[in-house]
Amino acid sequence: MANYDGLTRNSWPGTWSPSTEHPIVLDTEIRGGLRFVSGDSADRLEDITGQRLQEGMLAYLKTGYGSFQSDTYYKYSLLVGESRDTSTGDMPNASGNWSPVSFGGSDSAGIQLAEGSGIDLRDSDGFTVISLEDTGVVSGTYGSSDSIPILTIDEKGRVTSATEIGLTDSSYKYSLSGTSFTVSHEGIDTLSNFYVLDPNGNEVGVIFDVSDSDLSIDSIVDLTGHDLYVVTL
């Protein structure tokens, strides 16, 4: 037989090789696997020989035609009631046997990506970029020795609003010493917030105990030099 790019065809159907020890299998003569289909006349999905078809095989279509799209992968499947001919080995091959496949797109067989719940999607050079949505909060540090941060946190743990209020006449500052402290708040309006700041203005975690008339602190570290801020409505 004639050579194929300088190769001699073997007696095995569909193989060419420089010698009998190294066969090269042509994709147009192998069952299943991945196929390249140009989309040109006589080289379309429905033109693949029935004996070469296998359920689940993929074919990449370069140029679209009819209802088939360009640069798209298609998967072959038997329709209801169809099967391989046991005499000839042929599988039915019509347009309905081919369905598009998406790898991470909107196809039901791929990954579903949807915006919402703090997730933002945008296109960048043909790729989908996933990022967190902006919450409208200006980045920065909220709260100091002279102001109190007011934060709103949603169910996803994101800060959705952040403001701060300054200490006013309804705010009380107490200088601390030692590891415990008690201040009476009887007669003070309803407590809104209370916290302890170290000499650098950083909030310190302590245990608070609030009774009907007292606000007490119990700490395992010395709070000397720290300040207790009590804010009322």
Walking along the chain (233 residues) 10 residues at a time, the average pLDDT comes out as: 50 56 64 88 92 91 92 93 87 93 58 66 75 78 74 80 68 82 67 78 82 80 85 68
Q: Using CA atoms, how far apart are residues 223 and 226, in angstroms rounded to an integer?
A: 5
Question: In Å, how far from its chain's centre is CA 167?
Answer: 42
Contact criterion met (CB below 8 Å) for 195 and 203: yes
Q: How far apart are CA 170 and CA 7, in angstroms?
A: 94
8 Å CB contact between 195 and 184: no
Shared domain for 14 and 97, answered yes or no, is yes
Length of the chain: 233
Write down the pLDDT at residue 220.
84
Q: Which two tokens stand for residue 209?
A: 């105990």
- CB neighbour burial string for 87-119, b if at least 16 within 10 angstroms, e if fewer: eeeebebeeebbeebeeeeeeeeeeeeeeeebe
Residues 19, 95 within the same domain: yes
Q: Quick one: pLDDT at residue 73?
A: 93
State which residues form the domain around 221. Answer: 168-232
Structural domain includes residue 148: no
Same domain flag for 93 and 178: no
Domain's final residue, options 46, 74, 101: 101
Beta-bridge partners for 161: 152
Domain count, the chain: 2
Assigned domain for 205 exists? yes
pLDDT computed for residue 107 by the predictor: 46
Distance CA 193, CA 231 (A): 5
Does 97 lie in the same domain as 12?
yes
User: Are residues 57 and 47 in contact, defined by beta-carbon separation less than 8 angstroms?
Assistant: no
Q: What is the DSSP string of 141-173?
A: ---BTTEEEEEEE-TTS-EEEEEEEE--TTEEE
Q: Which pLDDT belongs to residue 10?
A: 55
